[in-house]
Chain A
């Protein structure tokens, strides 16, 4: 466990949302819209929390309220016990918006440095931190390139670097892999897992449910502004009345014996059997990495 191991046991939640309501005024003729309706959630330090829901369900508004970008109509939000409408609560937060755009006239290193300076960093410490962040997101080679020529995946990674520059205890990610290719998506997912390993709290919302399932400890499902379900991912997704056994290199005779055992027991039912499938993402990554290795080998010859 990382440097925040002690904090994980702390009583103060990393994020506390209490009965949050957010109404947006409508036009003169039309009525207003309730984007978030009495949403409550609590994220423990060191936890990876995923907020999922369809478009327009209130995910981003909830995130913006946590970050102090919108004012709650009712209810409250706090970050490590500090009212999130106060500027000082943001000392502990790094935020990566959906499809982030940064100043295109700045280079990668200048961008991270700019955000570091805004957090009060300077001198050798800032320089070292910028190098560390660029290395973390794999952009050392592009450090002097202006962001104007960056791909979506590179922008997303520079976004992560700026979010982490002041070493925050909480990272808020809004659709972190939106529009990123599977390779870039995998890198971002690995980075989130790395943050989790270091004890940093992650609050993310994503449409990619498979990815959310892979990295989140807990999830909240929001629909039409209301939290419809929330809890531990294992508890929410496991089918308590079913059991899965995966065998490696099992001969047909052994499988036949198992079927017979189930029949004889007269308790329970064999629902299905077959070969577990790899995900399309894994297949894609395997194929592209192999192709790249072959290409490199040919070039080396």
Chain B
């Protein structure tokens, strides 16, 4: 027997073994089949024009590319978040119902290893799925950008614009094509889905049913998306300059402490779709925040799960 694994309170290798098993489980559950309709959707977007897009003579031809990006990023966000909730909600209660958990925890497996392994497994599958969707998005966007750019070039030349001006117009279109900024948007959705998986993990440690876990996680997902608005309403002066009361302040504080703020992630994604400037430090900040949320929810899950009886 390899003693290096030991029975310390956490073993990254053992968590890795459980993560790999979770990935195998999800892959053999054929979860990647969901990617087929998404691929069709992304390819189908190539042939879909926005109703306000009236050809290259329109003032902002990049609108078409923004729509493409928004739909792709939106699909990725929806798929990754729902996948994070459903897969995490199914795995732990499933192991309890099947008594698979008995045989795992009766081996020298600390409960933290089990939780971290399950979470890492789900996050790994989300990562792979998002990578595939990202590649699809980039490829389809690349061809769409080339088509829009060529059409714009032809139109501008036909109405007598100079070569330099045509080049400028095409450069403006190209800036809305595949770029590093766009990848930041994808990364923001990956971070968000990872946090949602950690939230679902926490709920599944004390939940009595998969349905409850899914419903509660979806609720937290929605609250997380609008919590900045709620906080704003509870912390700032009202329409008539009325100061928020003690109850509002306490409620606002509880909301901001308990629920993750997904607005930040959405802002990055929106910015990426609009090809706005997003700095590396902004992304590092977002990554740090993601790590913080995941760590907090995992530690809370551990507290609940370590005392759980089977």
Residues of chain B within 8 A (CB-CB) of A86 are: 7
**B102 contacts A97, C-beta separation under 8 Å:** yes
Partner of A118 from the list B3, B28, B109, B307 (CB cut-off 8 Å) is: B109
Stretch from B17-25, B125-133, B210-218 contacting the other chain: B17-25
* Identity of the chain A residue whose Cβ is nearest the Cβ of B25 in the assembled complex: A105
**B108 contacts A91, C-beta separation under 8 Å:** yes
A121 to B107, CA, bound (A): 12
* Identity of the chain A residue whose Cβ is nearest the Cβ of B27 in the assembled complex: A105
Stretch from A65-73, A131-139, A272-280 contacting the other chain: A65-73
Residues of chain A within 8 A (CB-CB) of B25 are: 103, 105
Partner of A120 from the list B1, B21, B105 (CB cut-off 8 Å) is: B1
A97 to B98, CA, bound (A): 11
- Residues 91 to 128 of chain A near chain B (Cβ within 8 Å): 91, 93-97, 99-103, 105-106, 114-115, 117-122
A276 to B133, CA, bound (A): 74
B305 → chain A closest CB, angstroms: 13
* Identity of the chain A residue whose Cβ is nearest the Cβ of B109 in the assembled complex: A118
Where the two chains meet, the residues of B that have a C-beta atom closer than 8 Å to any C-beta of A are 1-7, 14, 17-18, 21, 24-25, 28-29, 98-100, 102-110, 307, 309-310
**A119 contacts B1, C-beta separation under 8 Å:** yes
Given contacts A69-B310, A70-B310, A88-B108, contact A167 B1 (CB under 8 A): yes
A297 at the interface (CB under 8 A from B): no
Residues of chain B within 8 A (CB-CB) of A70 are: 309-310
Residues of chain A within 8 A (CB-CB) of B98 are: 101-102
Partner of B24 from the list A68, A95, A105, A118 (CB cut-off 8 Å) is: A105
**B103 contacts A162, C-beta separation under 8 Å:** yes
**B106 contacts A102, C-beta separation under 8 Å:** no
Using A71-B307, A101-B98, A166-B1 as known contacts, list a sample of 19 further A-B pairs with CB atoms less than 8 Å apart, ordered by residue number in A. Answer: A67-B102, A67-B106, A68-B106, A69-B106, A70-B310, A90-B106, A90-B108, A96-B103, A97-B102, A101-B100, A102-B98, A114-B21, A115-B107, A118-B14, A118-B107, A120-B4, A120-B6, A120-B108, A163-B103
A265 at the interface (CB under 8 A from B): no
A-B complex: 5 closest residue pairs judged by Cβ atoms = A120-B5, A95-B106, A105-B28, A101-B98, A88-B7
A105 to B21, CA, bound (A): 10
**A102 contacts B100, C-beta separation under 8 Å:** yes
Question: Could you count the A-B residue pairs with CB atoms below 8 Å apart for me: how many are there?
Answer: 93
Q: List 18 A-B contacts (CB under 8 A).
A: A69-B310, A87-B109, A88-B108, A90-B106, A90-B109, A91-B7, A94-B106, A97-B103, A101-B100, A102-B103, A105-B24, A106-B24, A114-B21, A117-B17, A118-B18, A120-B4, A120-B6, A121-B2
Which of B21, B25, B104, B107 is most buried by chain A, counting CB atoms within 10 A of its CB? B107
Where the two chains meet, the residues of A that have a C-beta atom closer than 8 Å to any C-beta of B are 64, 67-71, 86-88, 90-91, 93-97, 99-103, 105-106, 114-115, 117-122, 159, 162-163, 166-167, 172
Residues of chain B within 8 A (CB-CB) of A67 are: 102, 106
Given contacts A99-B99, A100-B99, A118-B17, contact A87 B2 (CB under 8 A): no
A138 to B58, CA, bound (A): 74
Given contacts A105-B25, A118-B107, contact A64 B310 (CB under 8 A): yes
Residues of chain A within 8 A (CB-CB) of B309 are: 64, 69-71
**B105 contacts A69, C-beta separation under 8 Å:** yes
**B7 contacts A95, C-beta separation under 8 Å:** no
* Identity of the chain A residue whose Cβ is nearest the Cβ of B97 in the assembled complex: A101
**B2 contacts A120, C-beta separation under 8 Å:** yes
Partner of B104 from the list A93, A96, A99, A118 (CB cut-off 8 Å) is: A118
* Identity of the chain A residue whose Cβ is nearest the Cβ of B21 in the assembled complex: A114
Residues of chain A within 8 A (CB-CB) of B107 are: 90, 115, 118-119, 166
**B21 contacts A87, C-beta separation under 8 Å:** no
A108 to B98, CA, bound (A): 17
Residues of chain A within 8 A (CB-CB) of B5 are: 119-120
A21 → chain B closest CB, angstroms: 14
